[in-house]
Structure 1
Amino acid sequence: MIEVLFVLIVTAMAASLLGVFLVLRGMAMVTDAISHTILLGIVLAFFVTNDIRSPWLIIAASLVGLATVYIIELVSKTELIRQDAAIGFVFTALFAIAVILVSKFAGNVHLDMDVVLMGEVIFAPFNRIDILGVSIPNALWQLSIILLINIAFVTLFYKELKVTSFDPKFAYIAGFSVALIHYGLMTLVSVTAVAAFDAVGSILVINFFVAPALTAYLLVRRLGAMIGLAIAFAVLNSVAGYFISFHFDLSVAGTTAFVALITFMIVFLFNSKGFIIRRIQKQHQKKTFSRAMIMMLMNEASHESLSQKEIMSHFNLSEAQFNRHISYLIANEYMEKDEEKYRLTRRGEEFTHYTRLKYELPA
């Protein structure tokens, strides 16, 4: 079943490549809307063609995806409601229409709602196509072509995508066709979402678009590096999700999405500017400030030596906090203990003098 892994990797790469620009443009939730509303295009095209494998399904679904973006922008430009509210309203309305049509008029077609929502990539190898005498999964063939198209689009319009993503106002003034690039990107997002529909399902399409790009965004700011990292995370998540799902007999697409969440959380918590590192730095800064204030107090002429009770009372410290601070100051030779009193060493005096000069504090 190595073909399943290939389908998963190609799907994730094709989606994550475009996902970088969606994240930079603040349009992550628009992909969620598209991944749901394309079902309406698939259903309508099926009613016309009566063929679940007709290429018109992809065309119709892509058009509905573009219509979704246009309607969201049209509603949000009225300034009567915010964009996030417009996204929620439009995609739920169009998706609800599709669900009603499927349940009412396509009961005998294998548009099963569980598969529509969750997807099942292990079925991809059963639908095959012969290419130059070689039989490969149709999903792999379609998504490989779309991946190449996405790569070509990003390569040819890299400068335009970069400028319009980071500074659309400047791009407009500089003469770039902002609307053309925007709708070109949205067209490829719609086509990619449609092709990925069978493999990962409607709900999980958004994960492949956004999760690798968001993870890369936490680590780098250069666009080229972000694209490379996003694709690398997409491949990593796919490979890990594939093997974990087969080992524990789980949904491949669902497990891959969960692995993407774990990858994101690890980077979010432990990167150099992550949540945990920042908390550690904040605690370290708090301790450093408290110790500096203790030494500044003792550097005053009236407080050359202080007892434990006086220091604890002045800074409202518990005994445990006092012991931690004083142990550090004595161990690093900033302070010494003389009977029941504490006084600064020469190093401590030099430190407080330097601190006053650095921050221009009064003596």
Structure 2
Amino acid sequence: MNDFQIIVVGILVAISCAILGCFLVLRKMAMVGDAISHAVLPGIVIAFLIVQRFDSIFMLIGAAVLGVFTTLLIEFLHKQGKLQTDASIGVSFTSLFALGVILISVFASKVDLDADCVLFGEIAYVPLHVWRIDLGDGAILNLGAKAAWWIGSVLLIILVFVTIFYKEMLLTTFDPAFASAIGINVSVWHYSLMSLVSLATVAAFESVGAVLVLSFLVVPPATAYLLTTNFKKMLFISCFIGIITAILGYYMASFLNASIAGSMTSVAGIIFALVFVFVRIKK
């Protein structure tokens, strides 16, 4: 049962990140996930300093606010500062991450809160944090891992949003100039996508770790991009690769007695390398 819960959480994270990652890869903003996963640190610290508790909901709120702020800052530096997107991302996440480290060292140096535990979660601990409901008379209803509920809810939000606003997201991704010419507010859909990326990143990295979140955001979509020029097919292929990565990565970690997140990331890289070689040979 523990194995099943870990794999389910891995699959939910993989699908959530793969869908959003397709848009990010095509918009040439693949590293935004990395920026958000680091930049949310001050939000987490500030949330702790305010409530003096480690409850996930307060951490998530603080991190989500900083995640959205990071995307706004990146866009501001890109448009108003005339910086390239990659430079804007680098300046934003390093500055905010450094601010978080300073806040920890000054205000939280004597509590169990550090950059490693905040940023690099361990998916193996997912079965230890479950949702239980007291039904009375000693009866307890076990609803399973909290992480699965959090990430499952985020995945539902992403699926509903992308399904309803697929046309707008597609147009603003492939041809923002044309989208703007026909009356679509490109900025609104850009910030909507960035908000979803923030939400998915924040919901996932506490349980599975920043490295695994970033790998799911980038590697499966990049692999799918090599295999097709049809965007709908790219979405499905990316999700399928993410699912395979989560399953094979877990069993690889079990066989090698190694890090689960590291194994999943390695499997994603191996699949990408195999597809890359196959595509080159085919050409």
TM-score between both structures, scaled by the size of structure 1: 0.72
Give how far 1:260 is off. 0.6
Report the count of equivalent residues: 275
Alignment map for 1:1-363 (pairs within 5 Å): 1=2, 2-130=4-132, 133-271=141-279, 274=280, 276-278=281-283
SS class of match (2:131): strand
CA distance in 1, matches of 2:267, 2:149: 25
Deviation at 1:105, TM superposition (A): 2.8
Determine if contact 1:118/1:253 at 8 Å carries over to the other structure: no
How far is 1:193 from its partner?
A: 0.5
What do residues 151-194 of structure 1 show as CA deviations (whole Å, max 9, x unaligned)?
00110111111111000111111111222211111111111111
Secondary structure at 1:136 match in 2: strand
The structure 1 segments of at least 4 consecutive aligned residues displaced by more than 6 Å after TM superposition are: none
Task: Return the alpha-carbon distance in structure 1 between the equivalents of residues 70 and 241 of structure 2.
Answer: 28
- SS across alignment from 1:28: coil
Residue 128 of structure 1 aligns with an amino acid whose one-letter code is V
Q: Secondary structure at the match of 2:5?
A: helix
Aligned equivalent of 1:289: none
1:119 CA drift (Å): 2.5
What RMSD over aligned residues (CA atoms) do the two structures have, in Å? 1.7
Task: Please give the alpha-carbon distance, in whole angstroms, between the structure 1 residues aligned to 2:19 and 2:111.
Answer: 33
2: CA distance between counterparts of 1:54 and 1:29? 25
* Aligned AA (2:157): I
Equivalent in the alignment of 1:340:
none
Pairwise CA distance, 1:117? 4.2
Give the % identical residues. Answer: 42
Check conservation: 1:117, 1:202, Cα contact below 8 A.
Answer: yes
Aligned-partner Cα distance in 2 for 1:110–1:7: 25
Q: What residue identity is the alignment partner of 2:83?
A: I
* 1:27-50 deviation per Cα after TM superposition (whole angstroms, max 9, x unaligned): 111121111111221111111111
Write the deviation string for residues 300-319 of structure 1: whole angstroms up to 9, x where unpaired.
xxxxxxxxxxxxxxxxxxxx
Question: CA–CA distance in 2 between the matches of 1:195 and 1:259?
Answer: 23
The answer (yes or no) to whether the contact 2:120–2:205 under 8 Å persists in 1 is no
Deviation at 1:115, TM superposition (A): 3.7
- Tell me if structure 2 keeps the 8 A contact 1:204–1:253: yes
Give the aligned residue type for 1:251.
S
CA distance in 1, matches of 2:112, 2:247: 28
Aligned amino acid, residue 231 of structure 2: L
Shift of residue 81, structure 1, vs aligned partner: 3.0
Contact 2:42 2:97 in 1 (8 A): yes
Q: 8 Å contact 2:212–2:262 — kept in the other structure?
A: yes
Over 3 Å counting, the alpha-carbon distance change for 1:129 and 1:109 in structure 2 is farther
Task: Provide the TM-score with structure 2 as the length reference.
Answer: 0.91
Question: Are the aligned partners of 1:118 and 1:254 in contact in 2 as well (CA < 8 Å)?
Answer: no
Contact 2:45 2:104 in 1 (8 A): yes
Larger RCO: 1 or 2 (CA < 8 Å, sep 6+): 2
Rounded Cα–Cα distance in structure 1 between residues aligned with 2:106 and 2:126:
26
Letter in 1 for 2:265: A
Aligned-pair distance for 1:134? Answer: 3.3
Q: Distance in 1 between matches of 2:82 and 2:165?
A: 34
For residues 116 and 60 of structure 1, what CA distance do their matches in structure 2 show? 12
CA distance in 2, matches of 1:192, 1:27: 16
* Paired AA for residue 137 in structure 1: A
**Structure 2: any 5+ residue segments left out of the alignment?**
136-140
1:95-140 Cα shifts (integer Å, max 9, x gaps): 1111222244334544343344433101111111136933311111
**CA–CA distance in 2 between the matches of 1:35 and 1:260?**
19
Computing the radius of gyration from Cα coordinates, the structure with the larger value is 1
Counterpart for residue 138 of structure 2: none
SS in 2 for 1:134: strand
